[in-house]
């Protein structure tokens, strides 16, 4: 099986092909860009024609590979991208991405303004002070830049108090180097079945808009919906939605799972490195948190918590091999884990098991891990480390067959 690396960064002393072969021997991530495109098209069709889709590709596109994913989603209907940091935006620009990029994080210094102006990244402004710093730096550069004003309607994170929206807009309108591109906010509880907090935030956003209109100020582009709000209610869509998790094939909450048929795009696979048989009563791994009850064939798999497999999943997860679920046993270590192969004693060094993804009729998702590790699927996806190379594959969803993308 040959592979196509996503955003490879080969060590100069090694030929790229040789490094690719070496890295593929242990553990890796496969990303189905066809699934990403299908998810994007579904979401695009879910929106009104006038509503734009911003694809959130921060945190290396939730671990999927930002450059490749950005190209895929833009080709499938997204019109803008969202990132959290300036380097994330710069990396997309260096790769030739020309679409609008919204910086969701804050900026505080003239140096940051100079960088985003050079790379044509559009900042979020949460305070009048940030607006003034941005304007002064741009004036010195002799440039102007689209900016997005963020309001805090109840997230209690970034954003100016929504009650100050009029004053904030008036300030920005008086700064010629700032081109007001949008006004936005962010929901804190859109994934909760209890809609009361969301409704309170929505009402605050609406009041801010009404106050702006009452002052006769032009209302810019509006957006507030993340993946959950996008799936929940079309009245929250406004002029644009900012979608992250749903692009990658996961639902923000179980009760939103009937809106679209999303395809998880990320799989994690690793090779068996050693096989042995343990006697009854033998402890396994650090702390002997698992002790065999009978003679047990086990396999060591070359992946661990340093790669992004949560140690909290020790003795709680399974892997897939030829459609069979095999339990993980003992503490997950930094670079390795052990599995009980009693159901597949023919497993041998070099064989590949699936940690996340599909094998036959069985599937393990990031949601499964999140439930068992008492966390969220976002954290699982973002946790896979750089030493796991990313490879592009193309899947036939109807037959569950995976082939290499040419």
- Residue 327, pLDDT > 80, answer yes
Task: Give the E-state strand segments of 216-291 in sequence order.
Answer: 221-225, 240-243, 266-278, 283-284, 290-291
Query: Given the structure tokens 């209690």, which residue do they identify?
Result: 156
Q: What's the rounded Cα separation, in Å, for the pair 99 and 70?
A: 9
234-276 pLDDT, tens digit each: 999 999 999 999 999 999 999 999 989 999 999 999 999 999 9
Q: What is the pLDDT of residue 50?
A: 97
Domain membership of residue 375 (yes or no) is yes
What's the pTM value of the predicted model, to 2 decimals? 0.90
Which residues does 150 contact at the CB level (< 8 Å), separation at least 6? 124, 125, 126, 158, 159, 160, 184, 185, 186
What's the pLDDT band for 6 if we cut at 50, 70, 90?
low
Domain membership of residue 14 (yes or no) is no
Is 155 a known ligand-binding residue? no
H or E segment and range at residue 392: strand 390-396
280-302 pLDDT, tens digit each: 999 999 999 999 999 999 999 99
Q: What's the rounded Cα separation, in Å, for the pair 219 and 231?
A: 25
Domain membership of residue 5 (yes or no) is no
Q: What is the pLDDT of residue 120?
A: 98
CATH code assigned at 319: 2.40.37.10
246/274 same-domain check: no
Q: What is the pLDDT of residue 401?
A: 39
Annotated catalytic residues are 58, 286
Which residues does 18 contact at the CB level (< 8 Å), separation at least 6? none
Domain membership of residue 184 (yes or no) is yes
249/328 same-domain check: no
93/209 same-domain check: yes
- Could you give the number of structural domains in the chain? 2
251/289 same-domain check: no
Task: Give the E-state strand segments of 257-316 in sequence order.
Answer: 266-278, 283-284, 290-291, 296-301
Find the angle CA(316)-CA(274)-CA(290) to the nearest 5 degrees. Answer: 30
- Residue 400, pLDDT > 50, answer no
Q: What is the pLDDT of residue 2?
A: 46
Which domain, by its residues, includes 380? 266-388
Is 390 a known ligand-binding residue? no
311/186 same-domain check: no
Domain membership of residue 399 (yes or no) is no
């Amino acid at each position: 099986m040959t592979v196509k690396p996503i955003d490879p960064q080969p060590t100069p002393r090694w030929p790229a092909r040789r490094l690719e072969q070496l890295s593929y021997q242990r553990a890796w991530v496969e990303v189905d860009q066809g699934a990403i495109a299908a998810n994007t098209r579904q979401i695009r069709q879910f929106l009104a024609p006038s509503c734009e889709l911003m694809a959130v590709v921060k945190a290396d596109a939730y671990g999927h590979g930002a450059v490749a994913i950005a190209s895929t989603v833009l080709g499938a209907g997204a019109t803008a991208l969202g990132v959290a940091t300036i380097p994330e935006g710069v990396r997309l620009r260096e790769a030739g991405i020309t679409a609008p990029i919204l910086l969701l994080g804050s900026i505080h210094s003239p140096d940051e303004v100079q960088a985003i102006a050079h790379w044509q990244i559009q900042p979020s402004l949460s305070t009048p002070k940030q607006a003034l710093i941005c304007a002064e730096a741009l004036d010195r550069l002799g440039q102007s830049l689209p900016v997005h004003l963020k309001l805090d309607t109840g997230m209690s994170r970034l954003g100016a108090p929504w009650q100050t929206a009029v004053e904030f807009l008036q300030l920005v309108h008086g700064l010629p180097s700032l081109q007001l591109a949008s006004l936005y906010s962010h929901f804190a509880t859109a994934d909760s079945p209890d809609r009361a907090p969301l409704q309170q935030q929505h009402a605050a956003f609406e009041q801010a808009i009404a106050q702006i209109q009452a002052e006769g100020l032009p209302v810019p582009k509006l957006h507030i919906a993340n993946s959950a709000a996008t799936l929940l209610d079309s009245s929250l869509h406004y002029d644009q939605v900012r979608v992250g998790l749903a692009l990658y094939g996961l639902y923000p909450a179980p009760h939103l799972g009937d809106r679209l048929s999303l395809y998880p795009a990320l799989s994690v696979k690793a090779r068996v490195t050693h096989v042995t048989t343990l006697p009854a009563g033998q402890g396994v791994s650090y702390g002997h948190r698992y002790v065999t009850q009978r003679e047990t064939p086990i396999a060591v798999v070359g992946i661990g918590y340093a790669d992004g497999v949560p140690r909290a999943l020790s003795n709680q997860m399974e892997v897939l091999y030829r459609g069979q679920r095999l339990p993980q046993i003992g503490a997950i270590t930094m670079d390795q884990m052990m599995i009980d192969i009693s159901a597949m004693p023919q497993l041998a060094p070099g064989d590949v098991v699936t940690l996340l993804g599909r094998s036959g009729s069985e599937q393990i998702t990031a949601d499964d891990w999140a439930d068992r590790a008492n966390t969220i699927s976002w954290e699982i996806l973002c946790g896979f480390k750089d030493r796991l190379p990313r490879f592009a594959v193309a899947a036939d969803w109807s037959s569950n067959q995976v082939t290499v993308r040419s």
